Structure 1
Amino acid sequence: MLADHFPLVGLRLTTPRLELRLPTPEELADLADVAAAGIHDPAVMPFLVPWTDRPLADVARSVILHHWLRLGGWTPQAWSLNLTVFREGQVVGLQTIGASDLAVTRTVSTGSWLGRTHQGKGIGTEMRAAVLDLAFTGLGAEEAVSGAFDHNVTSYGVSRKLGYVDDGTKRHAVGGKLAVERRLRLTRADWERHRKIPVTIEGLTPCLPLLGAS
């Protein structure tokens, strides 16, 4: 079985409304369709790499290629886990968690996107809470970091709701224009104080060596 060689296919995170896991090939195609249907206002770019500015077919294909790229380049020392987010069996978005030298740094980073038709319903908060529980409860992390451009008030609001605090800024050139990123950091203590969403983690133990957390 595939799980015998790559146990991350058996990892499941569940919250009251959501399930997060690696997708099947057909579900990956559904995820690509969600991205192509739109995940943000076209007039505002929330990503450092403006991958959503391309033709719709390219946007969809880039989701698939990025998924394969992250799995193909996997090492326990440096990894990025792209979990597809499901609500009532329907693909709604993507939640990423990653780390470098986790056993030493005890730090993870997160990123995400959500189909526009699913926004404004608290799903973004719930899916981030799921991977934070994986980080702090499952992997023994001490800190989680994230970031959002200063115009991305929704992402910033999710972070603050979950206990993140400001951690400086960084200036980027995106599409030839200045974009200021607001860095955010969440400690274990702040996560515990703000933890409200119940999360169930299944299939983690055999994944720990691949996540650099054994």
Structure 2
Amino acid sequence: MPTSSAYPPLNVQVHTPRLSLLGATDELLERLIPTVRKGVVTEPPWPFDDPASLYADGPEREWRWLRGIWLGRGRVTESQWRLYFVVVVDGEPVGVQDLIGVDFATFGTVTTFSWLDPDLRGRGLGKEMRQAVLQLAFEGLGARESSSDAFFDNHASNRVSQALGYVPNGLTWDTRRGEPARIKQWLLTREQWAERRRDDIELVAVRECLPVLGIEPAHSEG
């Protein structure tokens, strides 16, 4: 288990029978670099055009990926925050799962982002990762709604959203490789999540993290 940090978001953990979400410390990020190197996308579906884009190979991509996480960890305010987690299976880092809040104290809404080792896809881990972070959002932080979106041809992500009870929430556009592409949006309310709520997911060190995010303990359950 990672050592305790003076910075509460790095101590938050979520454990399921199959995997753990651990605060993205530098040590865990370093251990994940080989998976980042392996995750270069060479055929559709292409990823989002973002600083951690996986279609650009070489060490500069790894630097951009690390810098993006370091920057995000340092830009935490009550109005906007992003919790970064490394997904660990059988003691090995295999992916990332993020939870993002914008004006959370007012709206109680979150969004999620994730990616997984290409060699481990298709085994249900993507669904397990999302269930873990939803437990943190709804039980630990007291969220009202969680949203997710994916390109139309990202069938794996869209299937996970549908399987977990999300409902379609409109369409939008984004770019990949400089070209416009349709995005399918999904929404999950607290009530919809509660219908499938699991009782085998453990939250660790959530309450100590609440003040960093500007969340009153009374607004959460963890």
Aligned-residue CA RMSD (Å): 1.8
CA–CA separation in structure 1 for the residues paired with 2:113 and 2:75: 18
Q: Work out whether residues 78 and 105 of structure 2, in 8 Å CA contact, stay in contact via their aligned partners in 1.
A: no
The equivalent of 1:37 in structure 2 is: 38
Count of aligned pairs: 213
User: Deviation of residue 209 (structure 1)?
Assistant: 1.0
Q: Which amino acid aligns with 1:17?
A: R
1:91 aligns with 2:61: no
The equivalent of 2:220 in structure 1 is: none
User: Deviation of residue 41 (structure 1)?
Assistant: 5.2
CA–CA separation in structure 2 for the residues paired with 1:131 and 1:173: 26
User: Deviation of residue 39 (structure 1)?
Assistant: 6.0
Q: Which stretch shifts more, 24-33 or 137-146?
A: 24-33
- Aligned residue among 181, 196, 206 for 2:208: 206
CA 119–39 in structure 1, closer or farther in 2 if over 3 Å, else same: farther
CA–CA separation in structure 1 for the residues paired with 2:63 and 2:140: 32
The equivalent of 1:21 in structure 2 is: 22
User: Deviation of residue 195 (structure 1)?
Assistant: 2.6
The equivalent of 1:53 in structure 2 is: 55
CA–CA separation in structure 2 for the residues paired with 1:162 and 1:88: 24
Q: Work out whether residues 13 and 22 of structure 2, in 8 Å CA contact, stay in contact via their aligned partners in 1.
A: yes
Query: Within 5 Å, which residues of 2 pair with 1:97-176?
Result: 97-176=99-178
1:66 aligns with 2:68: yes
Q: Which runs of 5+ in 2 are unaligned?
A: 217-222
CA-to-partner distance for each residue in 1:109-165, whole Å, 9 max, x for gaps? 001000101111111111111110111101111100010000000000001111100
CA 39–190 in structure 1, closer or farther in 2 if over 3 Å, else same: farther
CA–CA separation in structure 1 for the residues paired with 2:159 and 2:174: 21
TM-score by length of 2: 0.89
User: Deviation of residue 103 (structure 1)?
Assistant: 1.1
User: Deviation of residue 55 (structure 1)?
Assistant: 2.1
TM-score by length of 1: 0.92
CA-to-partner distance for each residue in 1:20-73, whole Å, 9 max, x for gaps? 112342321122221110165533213243711212312222221111111111
Task: Report the secondary structure of 1:3's partner residue.
Answer: coil
Q: Which stretch shifts more, 25-34 or 151-160?
A: 25-34
Q: Which runs of 5+ in 1 are unaligned?
A: none
Task: Report the secondary structure of 1:208's partner residue.
Answer: helix
After TM superposition, which residue ranges in structure 1, 4 or more long, deviate above 3 angstroms?
Answer: 1-4, 39-43
The equivalent of 2:181 in structure 1 is: 179
The equivalent of 2:12 in structure 1 is: 11
Q: Work out whether residues 47 and 176 of structure 2, in 8 Å CA contact, stay in contact via their aligned partners in 1.
A: no
Q: Work out whether residues 76 and 212 of structure 1, in 8 Å CA contact, stay in contact via their aligned partners in 2.
A: yes
CA–CA separation in structure 2 for the residues paired with 1:175 and 1:197: 41
% same residue: 34
Task: Report the secondary structure of 1:195's partner residue.
Answer: coil
User: Deviation of residue 7 (structure 1)?
Assistant: 1.2
